[in-house]
Structure 1
Amino acid sequence: MPIVRVRFRSAAPARPAPEKSRVCSPLLHDLLWAHALPADGIDHITVRPFTAGRTATEAAVFVRAESDARALGIVRALLDRVRPHCEAHGLTPDVPTD
């Protein structure tokens, strides 16, 4: 089962308040699942906060797909659907390229 990792950047400072991290991960998890379609074949989504130069969150999306390339295409389509909602919460997805 391919796993596609996506980072979501935030405009917040590099050291987020603990409350921000606790809120961001469940919110992003819910947004991703709310916009996933049954045909996407997404099996599992894990979201965790981390800091890499500035505040960021990483999602690992486990996809039932026949290839890594197909899984990447599915996650890109999911990101197209969820992007406006993420941006409304100050999160910008870095679309994976490989």
Structure 2
Amino acid sequence: MLLVRTPLHSDTGAPGTESGASLLQDALWAHAGPHHALEHVRVRPVPQGLHVALFVRAEHTAAAHEKAHDLLTLVLATGAARGYTPGPLIRH
């Protein structure tokens, strides 16, 4: 299981909220398919927006990042994180 982290920056510059973090976390679980290999997810508010941490089953970091990117792209397309712009995946 590998950790993939990414920030979501608020489009207005406002800090993230607990309710926004909870909604996004629920949306990630709701849209995760077996191919995403999601084991655990944590979204927390930060001063610049939200911080997303995904634990993904994968053999190597590149595969974990690909699965996480696919899931985040899918969920962001639903509007679940309206008002936020994804930052780059944080490389470990």
Shorter chain as denominator, the TM-score bin is 0.7 to 0.9
Of 31, 39, 48 in structure 1, the residue corresponding to residue 35 of structure 2 is 39
Give 1:6 deviation, angstroms.
Answer: 1.2
- C-alpha deviation, 1:89, in angstroms: 2.2
TM-score, length basis structure 1: 0.79
Give the unaligned 5+ runs of structure 1: none
Indicate yes or no: 2:17 matched with 1:24.
no
Structure 2 runs not aligned, ≥5 long: none
Secondary structure at the counterpart of residue 47 of structure 1: strand
| Alpha-carbon distance change, 61 to 23 in structure 1, aligned in 2, over 3 angstroms | same
Taking the aligned partners of 2:88 and 2:78, their CA distance within structure 1 comes to 15
List, as ranges, runs of 4+ consecutive aligned residues in structure 1 with deviation greater than 4 Å.
none
Q: Structure 1 residue 85: deviation in Å?
A: 2.6
TM-score w.r.t. the length of structure 2 is 0.84
What does residue 90 of structure 1 align with? 83
Tell me which of 64, 68, 72 is aligned to 1:71. Answer: 64
What is the identity percentage for the equivalent residue pairs of Structure 1 and Structure 2?
37
Larger Rg belongs to = 1
- How far apart in 1 are the matches of 2:25 and 2:18? 12
Residue 12 of structure 1, CA deviation:
3.2
Q: Is the 8 A contact 1:31 1:86 kept in 2?
A: no
Alignment RMSD (CA, Å): 2.0
Letter in 2 for 1:26: S
Higher share of residues assigned helix = 1
Contact 2:27 2:80 in 1 (8 A): no
